[in-house]
Amino acid sequence: MMELRTSRSGATGQSADRSVRHDWSREEAQALYDAPFNDLLFRAHSIHRRYFEPNTVQRSRLLSIKTGGCAEDCGYCSQSAHHSSGLTASKLMAVERVLAEARRAKDAGATRYCMGAAWRSPKGRDMGVLCAMVEGVKALGLETCMTLGMLSDDDVGKLKDAGLDYYNHNIDTSERYYGKVITTRTFADRLQTLARVREAGIKVCAGGIVGMGEEPEDRVDMLVTLANLPQHPESVPINMLIAIPGTPLADAEKIDGIAFVRTIALARILMPASYVRLSAGRTQMSDETQALCFFAGANSIFVGDTLLTADNPGEDSDAILFDKLGLRPLELATGSGEQDDVQEP
């Protein structure tokens, strides 16, 4: 058995471990997803313990720095200009306001600060403000993450120079199902943006949404796509659809809780060194469902009352749940705050 070398940041050394793969077949992954539930969870949890401290959870905070009016037609999104969700579009926030929110997030225990703008892609005139946000949040000692839509090479270069740590760009679902959810941007467009970000040396945050009417095979295909990238995303957010009135998916049937836990477990197995984030939809989950997700390998959450425009459990609810389960928040560690030793062999 491999000797485990646990760091204070939460991850274990893995240079001798060859379980990190980039050649998963859909058939292999589907067999894992369909395995007896106890067997699937045992394997996922065993892998989780090999790479991370099992009772430590990273806390991130997400702020909408520009809300509504997005030109994309993503069927799940209240911020799309194509839908009638009743959301009013806003302008890009001022840097000072974003930094004030970031200070509050740090004081509340967040170690990563994520900033999201409802755009197809950022405009050149906004890049200076966005870079100032990154620089200011980093100066507070927090990790920085942004999600701004598609990026050009010039955009990526400016964000890299500003010191951006992570870029979030979800692939949302399988390539097969993608066109049933979004028509204004292709699946290939999303992969191209991820490649640009990776090539620039910015860490990748990429996952998807389940419960949009997809088949189990689509959840598997989505995770296989991410796991077979040349390097796994350092963060993999798994969102449970929040069905928002006025969007095309307002009447989508809620995903079964066991199926959601299976998706978390498969993400952990296929991408063992990545942080798997239990993201949107936690207000719809029981404590027991969340507990199973943590056991299956989820080790990151968003904290705060809102996620962009949707509800999220507040810090008090999370503190109660953490206390019930004996979970500890990942602390803001030395230097960059997170797991510099979480790297693929």
Are residues 78 and 118 in contact, defined by beta-carbon separation less than 8 angstroms? Answer: no
Please identify which of the residues 145, 185, 198, 293 carries the catalytic annotation.
145
Give the CA angle between residues 64, 67, 73 to the nearest 5°: 115
Q: Count other Cβ atoms within 10 Å, centred on residue 340.
A: 13
Please identify which of the residues 43, 61, 77, 268 carries the catalytic annotation.
77
Considering only the C-alpha atoms of the chain, give the largest distance between any 2 of them, rounded to a whole number of Å. Answer: 56
Please identify which of the residues 61, 70, 196, 219 carries the catalytic annotation.
70
Task: Tell me if residue 205 is catalytic.
Answer: yes
Task: Tell me if residue 77 is catalytic.
Answer: yes
Q: Enter the DSSP assignment of 72.
A: -
Question: In the chain, what are the helix, strand and coil shares in percent, each to the nearest 5?
Answer: 35, 15, 45
Please identify which of the residues 112, 114, 131, 190 carries the catalytic annotation.
114
Stretch (H or E) spanning 237: strand 235-240
CA gap 337, 291 in Å, rounded: 25
Please identify which of the residues 43, 190, 198, 205 carries the catalytic annotation.
205
Residues 6+ apart with CB under 8 A from 113: 60, 61, 63, 102, 105, 106, 137, 140, 142, 143, 144, 145
Residue 64: φ, ψ to 5°: -85, 110
CA gap 83, 218 in Å, rounded: 25
Task: Tell me if residue 131 is catalytic.
Answer: no
Please identify which of the residues 43, 59, 61, 74 carries the catalytic annotation.
74
Q: Which residues are catalytic?
A: 70, 74, 77, 114, 145, 205, 277
